[in-house]
């Protein structure tokens, strides 16, 4: 585990300034009761916090997301974590880049010593001192089988409840992928992992992270496409899909495997048109490795194999001007 009290953890990239984790995100939804049912069914630990909800994973006290209630679903802000010794240096760099800091938003009801600003398209960003939650090594992935003469599966009555281990990443919409790539690189120190032209790009943290902790996809407006949650094998992805279908959440996409990031996936459509993803075995970029970023054709930007993509899979329901 990486300490933040003036000590540099083993996974820090020497001499580089940048955030180390996607700490949390905040989203408003039209009905918190529906949100509580959806995310509880998904396998998260959903807790009432003041007038909103916090999303946790089982056995962890880290809040991965906060939800508040409003008339429409909207991605409110992204919160990134930095080592304590880098906090003021990063603030000064952001201000030197001409970015104006803003007040804590009025919907924010948690204590923070961080600072806030907006990206070029109006998404609020917080940078704060916090413990490193991005992994320090590639997450474990179980592909074990059993010897001949033994049963490798289980009865459905004995199927375990899927409970994700952590938030893996977010994919957010942006009116300009190149502009978002430039902004988040210059100000937060994120690096390009891979892209497909100006349609989508994936970015990782410099102090060791998955292939991407955030990705940007082209749309007419900002918004959340999906939040991704790490599980430990393909079987858990399948069990998670069945777990959600049994609760009435049958719309989605999967099982499949991505090209960029390489992870296995199943997406479950939430009640507001975005997705929550069960994900396993994503590529990992260590702090001492320079990833060879590629620019891939559109056919590689979404998947290697899987079922036919739903017609509205890349529709941004937060964009009022997009066609239905």
All residues at 6 or more sequence positions from 157 whose CB lies less than 8 Å from its CB, including other chains: none
How large is the average pLDDT for residues 255-274?
A: 98
Structure token digits, residue 41: 């069914």
The pLDDT tens digits for 61-101 are 999 999 999 999 999 999 999 999 999 999 999 999 999 99
How would DSSP label each residue in 97-154? TTPPEEPPPTT--S----EEEE-TTS-EEEEEE----S-SSPPP-------TTS--S-
The Cα–Cα gap between 68 and 66 comes to 7
Quick one: pLDDT at residue 12? Answer: 84
Sheet holding 124-129, edge to edge: 45-49, 52-56, 65-69, 21-29, 74-82, 124-129, 115-118, 101-102
One DSSP character per residue, 145-164 reads ---TTS--S--GGGPPPP--
Q: Does domain 21-134+165-300 have CATH number 3.30.930.10?
A: no
Domain edges within the chain: 21-134+165-300
Reported as a single tens digit per residue, the pLDDT across 130-163 is 999 999 999 999 888 888 988 888 888 888 899 9
Q: What are phi and psi of 180, to 5 degrees?
A: -65, -40
| Contact of 53 with 93, CB cutoff 8 Å | no
Q: What does pTM read for this prediction? A: 0.93
Cβ atoms of 223 and 320 within 8 Å: the answer is no
Cβ(202)–Cβ(193) below 8 Å: yes
Q: Which residues of 92-117 are buried (b: 16+ CB within 10 A; e: fewer)?
A: ebbeeeebeeeeeeebbeeeeebbbb
**Count of CB atoms situated within 10 Å of the CB of 22:** 25
Q: Report pLDDT digits (tens) over 106-127.
A: 887 777 889 999 999 999 999 9
Phi, psi of 50 (to 5 degrees): 60, -125
Alpha-carbon distances of 103 from 118, 139, 172, 189, 309, rounded to whole Å: 11, 37, 23, 23, 41
| Residue that the structure tokens 């996607």 belong to | 22
């Amino acid at each position: 585990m990486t300490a933040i009290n003036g000590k540099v953890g083993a996974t820090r990239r020497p001499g580089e300034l940048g955030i180390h984790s996607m700490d949390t995100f905040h989203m408003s939804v039209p009905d918190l009761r529906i949100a509580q049912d959806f995310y509880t069914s998904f396998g998260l630990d959903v807790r009432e916090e003041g007038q909103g909800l916090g999303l946790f994973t089982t056995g962890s006290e880290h809040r991965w997301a906060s939800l508040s209630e409003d008339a429409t679903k909207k991605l409110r802000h992204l919160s990134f974590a930095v080592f304590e010794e880098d906090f003021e240096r990063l603030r000064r760099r952001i201000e030197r880049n001409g970015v104006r800091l803003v007040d804590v938003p009025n919907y924010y009801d948690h204590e923070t010593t961080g600072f806030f600003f907006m990206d070029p398209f109006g998404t609020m960003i917080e940078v704060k001192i916090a413990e490193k939650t991005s992994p320090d090594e590639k997450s474990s992935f179980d592909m074990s089988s059993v010897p001949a003469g033994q049963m490798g599966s289980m009865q459905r009555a004995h199927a375990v409840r899927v409970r994700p281990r952590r938030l893996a990443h977010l994919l957010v919409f942006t009116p300009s992928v190149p502009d978002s790539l430039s902004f988040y690189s210059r100000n937060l120190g994120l690096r390009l992992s891979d892209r497909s032209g100006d349609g989508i790009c994936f970015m990782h943290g410099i102090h060791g992270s998955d292939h991407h902790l955030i990705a940007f996809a082209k749309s007419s407006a900002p918004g959340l496409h999906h939040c991704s949650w790490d599980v430990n094998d393909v079987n858990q992805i399948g069990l998670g899909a069945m777990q959600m279908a049994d609760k009435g959440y049958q719309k989605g996409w999967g099982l499949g495997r991505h090209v960029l990031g390489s992870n296995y996936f199943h997406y479950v459509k939430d009640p507001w048109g975005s997705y929550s993803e069960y994900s396993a075995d994503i590529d990992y970029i260590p702090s001492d490795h320079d990833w060879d970023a590629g620019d891939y054709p559109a056919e590689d930007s979404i998947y290697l194999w899987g079922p036919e993509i739903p017609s509205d899979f890349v529709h941004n329901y937060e964009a009022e001007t997009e066609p239905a």
